[in-house]
């Protein structure tokens, strides 16, 4: 998946990797993110999210390679084993965001292989929503320029 944003690469990357405050950018999808362990290799996070309309509590590992790569490894829940690799590349007046997803369905969801396409569509829609929310969130932080 690939999208464009009007935000500069460093700003969009900063918003995407601000784990402690990410729920402020997308409050409908992410209810809270709590870092429970942090070291040189990443951050282990307990996330309260809405997944396909279902409230879930999952454990994730976030690996941040500045200035432009953010990996999210799902450690628990119905998509345990899934890895998202986000890459942020400057382009013209903004940023191109690419997300490579290695989707793994586990537990009950493994029996429903047809869900894979639906989940990927929802992920694509969530990516669109992230770009919109990040740009609006950044605007709300900027002083009024009128």
pLDDT tens digits, one per residue of 85-97: 999 999 988 999 9
Residue the block writes with tokens 């396409």 = 117
pLDDT tens digits, one per residue of 8-25: 999 999 999 999 999 999
Q: Are residues 31 and 23 in contact, defined by beta-carbon separation less than 8 angstroms?
A: yes
Predicted pLDDT of residue 15: 94
Predicted pLDDT of residue 143: 55
**Residue partners of 38: CB distance under 8 A and separation at least 6:** 44
- What are the structural domains, with CATH classification, of the chain? 2-139 (3.30.530.20)
Predicted pLDDT of residue 100: 94
**Residue partners of 72: CB distance under 8 A and separation at least 6:** 60, 61, 62, 83, 84, 86
């Amino acid at each position: 998946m690939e999208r464009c944003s009007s935000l500069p690469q460093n700003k969009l990357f900063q918003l995407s990797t601000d784990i402690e405050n990410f729920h402020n950018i997308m409050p409908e999808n992410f209810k809270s993110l709590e870092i429970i362990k942090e070291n040189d290799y990443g951050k282990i996070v307990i996330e309260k999210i809405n997944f396909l309309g279902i409230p879930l509590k999952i454990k994730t590992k976030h690996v941040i390679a500045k200035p432009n790569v953010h990996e999210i490894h799902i450690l628990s829940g119905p998509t345990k084993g899934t890895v998202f690799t986000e890459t942020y590349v400057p382009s013209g007046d903004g940023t191109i965001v690419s997300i490579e997803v290695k989707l793994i369905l586990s537990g009950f969801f493994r029996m429903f292989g047809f869900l894979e396409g639906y989940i990927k569509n929802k992920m694509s829609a969530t990516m669109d929503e992230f770009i919109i929310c990040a740009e609006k969130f950044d605007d709300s932080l900027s002083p009024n320029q009128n």
